[in-house]
Amino acid sequence: MEHLNVEIKARCSDVLAARQVLKGAGARFVGEDHQIDTYFRVENGRLKLREGNIENHLIFYRRGNQAGPKASEVALLETQAGSPLKAFLEKALGSWMCVDKRREIYFVENVKFHLDQVSGLGTFLEIEAIDMEGKYGQAKLEEQCRFWMEKLNVQDADLLSVSYSDMLESTFPASKNEQ
């Protein structure tokens, strides 16, 4: 299923404060997920297989690298834990990078929040304003994202322009999987 997101990723020095803001706003806590995202070699965009306790998806996305709210075209395919899909994709495309994280997942209406502890990188907050059915549009999603950035006290200096995989590649270049 394809849809539009507007999202931000930021360093989060105070997870407890972020969690309190979300709880105070009545956010629905989905749970804590241990996720392994395996990125595969593709010519454009990103293709990753997310394996978790809560979320299991093959995800293809395209988005620009910029620090503020950014539009992302996303296609999701639900998968099953333990599926042979990973081995198949590794054989066909080769894997590029793995991201190991613990993620708390929250929702307020169509806005999804992640409080992430990423192995080798630290603690982060993601805000994703999601338009699954094409009823919000990019301007409304950007407005929602900025609203939550302010509510969660996200500072410009905390914003990140790249994905966890890019951060890991620049931090640990020898850890790339060259299959």
DSSP letters of 138-161? HHHHHHHHHHHHHHTT--GGGEES
The residue type at 54: I
Calculate mean pLDDT across residues 7-28: 97
CB 112 within 8 A of CB 128: yes
pLDDT-derived band at 174, boundaries 50, 70, 90: low
Domain with 115, as residue range(s), is 2-173
Residue 33 lies inside a defined structural domain of this protein: yes
Domain assignment present for residue 35? The answer is yes
Hey, how many other C-beta atoms are within 10 angstroms of the C-beta on 162? 13
Residues in a beta bridge with 105: 31, 114
Please indicate, yes or no, if residue 100 is contained in any of the structural domains.
yes
Domain-embedded: residue 178: no
Domain contains 161:
yes
Give the chain's mean pLDDT: 93
Instruction: Work out the average pLDDT over 8-33.
Output: 97
Question: In this structure, is residue 51 part of a structural domain?
Answer: yes
The model's pLDDT over 64-98, given as tens digits with 9 standing for 90+, comes to 787 889 999 999 999 998 899 999 999 999 999 99
What pLDDT is attached to residue 165? 93
| Confidence band, pLDDT 50/70/90 cuts, at residue 177 | very low
Domain CATH for 54: 2.40.320.10
The confidence score (pLDDT) of residue 3 equals: 87
In a domain, 65, yes or no: yes
Give the whole-angstrom CA distance, residue 128 versus residue 107: 9
pLDDT computed for residue 63 by the predictor: 85
Residue 178 pLDDT more than 50? no
What pLDDT digit, counting tens, does each position of 124-153 carry? 999 999 999 999 999 999 999 999 999 999
Beta carbons within 8 Å of 44's beta carbon, 6+ residues apart: 62
Q: What is the pLDDT of residues 34-49, one digit of tens each?
A: 999 999 999 999 999 9
Task: Grade residue 109 by pLDDT with cuts at 50, 70 and 90.
Answer: very high
